[in-house]
Amino acid sequence: MAAPQSKIIVTCAITGGIHTPTMSPYLPITADEIASEAIAAAEAGASIVHLHARKPENGQPSQDPELFRKFLPTIAERSDVVINLTTGGAPNMLVEERLQPALELKPEVASLNMGSMNFGLYPMLARHEKFKYDWERPYLEGSEDRVFRNTFKDIRYILESCADNGTRFEIECYDTSHLYTAAHFIDRGILKAPFFIQSVFGLLGGIGTHPDDVMHMRRTAERLFGKDYYWSVLGAGRSQMPLATMAASMGGNVRVGLEDSLWDGPGKLATSNAQQVQRVVSMLKSLNLEVATPDEARDMLQLKGRQAVAF
């Protein structure tokens, strides 16, 4: 069975590399916007904030460490929230580029994708006739013929490059095969317990959102990782809150945020990340569950502490 826990870790993914600025006026783009959204999410109850960066002039995803440096100190100064930096970046980036923020800034947590996959964003084209910036349409169109590369060598490269940083990983699994890949690196001694397994549902190219899919991922993780892991669930788009509720009722942790879903109900855009955190915290309380504070999440995941980062 998964590691026993009395508190639920709530992760909030603030901006991401999936949605484009045309899709929502509330998507944070600039350093000030990203910092403000992260701090507000923490105040609303997020244990962890998962962070990407964007070019301020046009909202394009970027892994330039200098862009991260413009908002990370503000978040760290005004909040004790656990900071998790992406190594995923965007599906059109090379792994060397994607790695740089985590490598240089040494966060407590970094995300790590566990497999190459088709990553279909192109259905979003049907929702918008015009785009605000020139890069948006080609970025979405290109996903019909794009593989999000995460080979065994790429994964090993990230793990070994960050080995001296003391950074732990949010292990992102978009299908059951990715759980087996994680088990492979555990067997090789490269990944160490406790494992923070983030199961991702509802992205085209990965596993679906049916309750049977969720149960299958959970059973497979239980079989592979036993008591050495914490299970968390990310539901994309309209599946965000239903799957968070299902995961929480099964003893899992949850992830919300504008990276994963722009919505706060049918046809209603979320106006902030904090709004989604408030909604999921309310749901957890209705199930008589308690949200982990950042320090409680640090203890659960055996993190190195906020003073040991490089920002």
Q: Report how far residue 306's alpha carbon sits from residue 311's, in angstroms, rounded to the nearest whole number.
A: 10
Mean pLDDT of 33-62: 98
Residue type, 106: K
**11 phi/psi in degrees, rounded to 5:** -100, 140
Q: Are strands 53-54 and 61-62 parallel, antiparallel or unpaired?
A: antiparallel
The residue type found at 20 is T
Phi, psi of 170 (to 5 degrees): -85, 105
Alpha-carbon radius of gyration of the chain: 18
The string of DSSP letters for 113-135 reads E-S-EE---GGGGGG-SS-SSTT
Contact indicator for 168, 302 with CB cutoff of 8 Å: yes
**Rounded Cα gap, residues 8 and 245, in angstroms:** 12
What is the per-residue pLDDT across 265-303, written as a single tens digit (0 to 9) for each?
899 999 999 999 999 999 999 999 999 999 999 999 999
How sure is the predictor about 73, in pLDDT bands with cuts at 50, 70 and 90? very high
Which structural domains are found in the chain, ordered by start? Answer: 7-308 (3.20.20.70)
93 has a pLDDT exceeding 80? yes
Which pLDDT belongs to residue 99?
Answer: 97
pTM equals 0.97
pLDDT at position 83 is 98
pLDDT category at 6 given cuts 50, 70, 90 is: confident
Tokens in use for 273?
């990340």
Is the model's pLDDT at 1 over the cut of 90? no
- Residue 3 scores a pLDDT above 80: no
Burial of 132 (0-12, 13-18, 19+ CB in 10 A): middle
Across 116-136, average pLDDT: 96
Q: Answer yes or no: are the C-beta atoms of 11 and 46 closer than 8 Å.
A: yes
| pLDDT tens-digit series, residues 219-276 | 999 999 999 999 999 999 999 999 999 999 999 999 999 999 999 989 999 999 999 9
Q: Of 68, 73, 64, 70, nearest to 98 (Cα)?
A: 64
Integer Cα distance of 149 and 95 in angstroms = 8
Which residue, among 145, 98, 120, has the nearest Cα to 206 in the 3D structure? 120
Would you say 274 and 37 are in contact if contact means Cβ atoms under 8 Å apart?
Answer: yes
At residue 38 the predicted structure's pLDDT band, cuts being 50, 70 and 90, is very high
Between vectors from CA 115 to CA 198 and to CA 234, what angle results, nearest 5°? 25
Task: Provide the mean pLDDT of the chain.
Answer: 97
User: Count of alpha carbons within 13 Å of 105, Cβ hemisphere only?
Assistant: 29
pLDDT at 4 over 70: no
Q: Give the H/E segment covering residue 41.
A: helix 31-44
d(CA 259, CA 90): 11
Each residue of 136-160: pLDDT tens digit? 999 999 999 999 999 999 999 999 9
